[in-house]
Amino acid sequence: MSPAPSRQDSPCKIVVVGGGTAGWMAAAALVKFLGRTVDVTLVESDAIGIVGVGEATIPQIRNLNRALEIDEAEFVAGTNGSFKLGIEFVNWRHKGHSYFHNFSKIGLAVNQVQFHHHLFRAQAEGIGGELWDYCVNTHAARAGRFAPMETLGSSRLAGIGHAYHFDAALYGQFLRRYAEAHGAKRVEGRIVDVHQDAETGDVTCLRLEGDRAVEGEIFIDCSGFRGLLIEGALKTGYEDWSHWLKCDSALAVPSRNTRPPRPYTQAIAHDAGWQWRIPLQHRTGNGHVFSSAYTDIDAARETLLANLEGDALAEPRLINFTTGRRKQFWNRNVVALGLASGFLEPLESTSIHLVQSGISRFIQMFPARPIYEAERDE
Ligand SMILES: Cc1cc2nc3c(=O)[nH]c(=O)nc-3n(C[C@H](O)[C@H](O)[C@H](O)COP(=O)(O)OP(=O)(O)OC[C@H]3O[C@@H](n4cnc5c(N)ncnc54)[C@H](O)[C@@H]3O)c2cc1C
């Protein structure tokens, strides 16, 4: 028997299925970090389109941008983005109450003793003030300001920590330009059939409308909730978490800006869910995430429209979801990323980060030929 070809023999043919946020993030990272060891083709269907929400991020996205050598100003301009200092949670404890989950460190440890101990002592003596007085992000957010600042002046105090809000469709296009410039190929068309090896069960080839075929060695399933390969072909199974996370629906609508973008996301509690408000340069993204067991669509729609700051720019769009995760993220030669791999409700805007985390784990575990069970399981 001839030995299996080694990685050096020829580039590994990776096929990314789906051109949403997950697909283009994967394609961009694979061509950048694996270079000539891979040959990346992305298949997407313009007719099916993308989920198109997913407009708020957490600070770790800056690590990805840095590694991809993306210039921040170009990135923000190209995605109609804005800076995000954290999330303001409004009306959660009771109506009128709010608190801020911010992306900066608060205070400074002194003599190895954590800051909050000093604060509690000072508060007990009536001089400490509030925790938020010691957080630059909170001050900046309240003032509607942002500046790139790693530390506060020349002190050791943490400066402003930030992430971004951006237009998800523009983000995809931005990464598409990047990935194509670095060698990724794009194929447009609807996948109508998935072929598997009769013996191993590995996916071997995708059949597209118009009798076209795309072959590959490794397939990254970024096909969204439908999980075309990971579930449709491989029947991996799904762990349903809806007994923990009650929300199962979202109505999303953009609205006209009525004020300069706030440098933070708002998450506003409602009776049967909550509402996001995400400021972009050209519009505000809004969505009411709710549990269909506790309200109906008409009432949810009314709540959403009654809580917009500017005129709605479209009809609210309904998105249904089941929170949970695939039983395996890597099954046979298919790795699921993004919504194809699972979904937590978007309260802390973590999905795009989970895509990033999945990509970096896959790159760390990038398999030899053939794929070994142990690599896949780890
Ligand atoms: C209500 C809601 C709010 C969210 N808010 C946030 C947030 O604030 N922050 C955050 O980080 N994340 C958020 N997310 C998650 C975020 O939207 C997704 O993680 C992200 O958009 C990735 O989506 P995706 O690329 O996996 O899927 P999709 O955007 O659905 O892309 C799927 C792709 O697969 C292609 N495809 C599917 N079937 C076929 C086929 N048969 N043939 C060819 N192509 C096919 C489609 O054309 C498309 O290109 C939110 C999600 C929801 C539902």
Contact 164, 76 (CB under 8 A): yes
Kindly tell me if the per-residue pLDDT of 1 is higher than 50.
no
Contact 38, 362 (CB under 8 A): no
Are 275 and 146 members of one domain? no
pLDDT band at 372 (very low <50, low <70, confident <90, very high): confident
pLDDT band at 341 (very low <50, low <70, confident <90, very high): very high
- CA dist 269 and 93 (Å) reads 9
Are 334 and 296 members of one domain? no
State the catalytic residues: 84
- CA dist 216 and 196 (Å) reads 11
Strand, coil or helix: 28: helix
Specify the ligand 1 atom closest to the Cα of 352: 11
In the predicted model, what is the mean pLDDT of the chain? 95
Are 126 and 144 members of one domain? yes
How many domains are contained in the chain? 3
Q: Give the residue whose CA is nearest to atom 53 of ligand 1.
A: 319
DSSP characters over 112-143: TB-HHHHHHHHHHTT----GGGG-HHHHHHHH
Percent of the chain whose predicted confidence (pLDDT) is above 70 = 98
Which structural domain range is residue 368 located in? 12-55+167-241+325-377
pLDDT band at 367 (very low <50, low <70, confident <90, very high): confident
Are 222 and 171 members of one domain? yes
Ligand 1 pocket residue status of 48, Cβ below 6 Å: yes
pLDDT tens, 345-366? 899 999 999 999 999 999 999 9
Are 336 and 227 members of one domain? yes
Kindly tell me if the per-residue pLDDT of 9 is higher than 90.
no
Centre of ligand 1 to C-alpha 265, Å, is 20
Q: For position 2, what pLDDT does the model report?
A: 46
Are 171 and 233 members of one domain? yes
Task: Please tell me which residue, 157 or 253, carries the higher pLDDT value.
Answer: 253
Question: What's the pTM?
Answer: 0.95
Q: Where does the chain have alpha helices with state H?
A: 21-34, 61-67, 72-78, 115-124, 136-143, 168-181, 297-306, 351-364, 373-377
Q: Write down which residue in 160, 184, 207 finishes a domain.
A: 160
Ligand 1 pocket residue status of 272, Cβ below 6 Å: no
Q: For position 189, what pLDDT does the model report?
A: 97
Are 21 and 43 members of one domain? yes
Are 31 and 172 members of one domain? yes
- CA dist 225 and 330 (Å) reads 16
DSSP state of 312: B
Are 253 and 353 members of one domain? no
pLDDT band at 154 (very low <50, low <70, confident <90, very high): confident
Let me know if residue 279 belongs to a domain. Answer: yes
Let me know if residue 270 belongs to a domain. Answer: yes
Ligand 1 pocket residue status of 56, Cβ below 6 Å: yes
pLDDT tens, 192-220? 999 999 999 999 999 999 999 999 999 99
Kindly tell me if the per-residue pLDDT of 329 is higher than 70.
yes
pLDDT tens, 14-38? 999 999 999 999 999 999 999 999 9
Let me know if residue 343 belongs to a domain. Answer: yes
Are 309 and 255 members of one domain? yes
Let me know if residue 77 belongs to a domain. Answer: no
Only one residue has tokens 């491989």, namely 234
Let me know if residue 87 belongs to a domain. Answer: no
Average pLDDT of the segment spanning 84-93: 97
Are 24 and 43 members of one domain? yes
pLDDT tens, 236-293? 999 999 999 999 999 999 999 999 999 999 999 999 999 999 999 999 999 999 999 9
Let me know if residue 289 belongs to a domain. Answer: yes
What are the tokens at 159?
A: 């400066």
